[in-house]
């Protein structure tokens, strides 16, 4: 039996960088407590909206993209919420509510009690999957 991944600050699993659905499945499996069903729902929603999505783990978080080079979304577990990142979120309509130090990136926070707005998240995922992503999240910038 394999050893459980170490949990980092906020309960985010420490998962080695890798490509493919198996690596993301390991991340999802290791997410603790109330966050686990929510990250599984997020992953399923992304796959439902973008069946051809490619998955990877970078910087201890799952990334979702179309070409294996540019990633359009990711998420990360924090203590009180799950931070969903849209890497070219400033181009989405409407923009996700939370800003970033990077001008193109926008965030949507998923809290335990309120969950997430599934209809809006589906719109953002569809839009984001058709965008160019953000250069910060291209393979040459830290695969």
Please give the Cα distance from 49 to 143 (Å, whole number). Answer: 24
pTM value is 0.89
Instruction: Give pLDDT tens digits along the chain (143 positions).
Output: 457 889 898 889 999 999 999 999 999 999 999 999 999 999 999 999 999 999 999 999 999 998 877 899 999 999 999 999 999 999 999 999 999 999 999 999 999 999 899 999 999 999 999 876 544 455 444 44
Please give the Cα distance from 132 to 143 (Å, whole number). Answer: 17
Please give the Cα distance from 78 to 130 (Å, whole number). Answer: 28
For 78-96, give one letter per residue: b (16+ CB within 10 A) or e. eeebbbbbbbbbbbbeeeb
Domains and CATH numbers, the chain: 9-141 (3.90.1150.200)
């Amino acid at each position: 039996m394999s050893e459980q991944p170490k949990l980092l600050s906020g309960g985010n699993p420490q998962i080695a960088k890798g490509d493919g659905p198996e690596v993301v499945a390991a991340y999802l499996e290791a997410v603790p407590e109330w966050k686990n069903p929510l990250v599984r729902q997020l992953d399923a929603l992304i796959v439902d909206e973008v069946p051809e999505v490619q998955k990877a783990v970078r910087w201890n978080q799952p990334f979702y993209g179309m070409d294996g080079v540019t990633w359009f979304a990711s998420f990360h577990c924090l203590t009180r919420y799950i931070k969903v990142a849209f890497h070219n979120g400033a181009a989405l309509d409407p923009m996700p509510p939370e800003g970033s130090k990077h001008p193109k990136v926008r965030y949507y926070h998923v809290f335990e009690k309120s969950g997430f707005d599934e209809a809006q998240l589906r719109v953002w995922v569809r839009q984001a999957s058709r965008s160019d992503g953000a250069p910060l999240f291209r393979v040459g910038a830290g695969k």
